[in-house]
Amino acid sequence: MKRNASAIWNGDLASGAGTISTPSGVLDDARYSFRTRFEDGVNGTNPEELIAAAHAGCFSMALSHELAQAGHDPKSVSTKATVQLDEADGGFAITRIHLDADAHVPGIDQAEFDRIAEGAKEGCPVSKVLDAEIELDIRLNA
């Protein structure tokens, strides 16, 4: 299985702008710029926002799968991912990702839930590709 996206950037870093697109059309020439990436610009996206969306979606799916594989019936998993971009080694790097999640899983005890959630965090394909500290705050709603 392969997935792809494309991006075009025009101009220099500070005053340039670009678009990001996906074959599915979910991102159809989505704008991004220096302002949307490094400042408070809101009329567009940025790579870190897209990584956060991917990680939140991946973790929610991974946790639901792991719970089902362990014999539990997850009703919902809601995740917010926060990607932290810092100056590092003369450039920038994603240094930390914070996953904040709520899961509605009837009939599971807290210790087993925590163990499964930690495994889902480590096993999520997006977690595996990221070279950053990944923190998880998760709440069980039985």
> What residues does 91 pair with on adjacent strands?
88
Domain that holds residue 13: 6-38
Q: What is the mean pLDDT of the chain?
A: 96
Entry pTM: 0.93
CATH classification at residue 56: 3.30.300.20
Residue 13 covered by a domain: yes
Residue 1 covered by a domain: no
11, 12, 15, 18 alpha-carbon torsion, rounded to 10°: 50
Say if residue 34 is in the same domain as residue 67. no
Total domains in the fold of the chain: 2
pLDDT digits (tens, 9 = 90+) for 64-88: 999 999 999 999 999 999 999 999 8
Instruction: Give percent of the chain above pLDDT 70.
Output: 100
3-state secondary structure (DSSP) of residue 23: coil
Per-residue DSSP letter, 15:
T
Residue 10 covered by a domain: yes
CB 78, CB 138: distance < 8 Å: no
Say if residue 83 is in the same domain as residue 32. no
Residue 43 covered by a domain: no
Question: Above 90 in pLDDT, residue 120?
Answer: yes
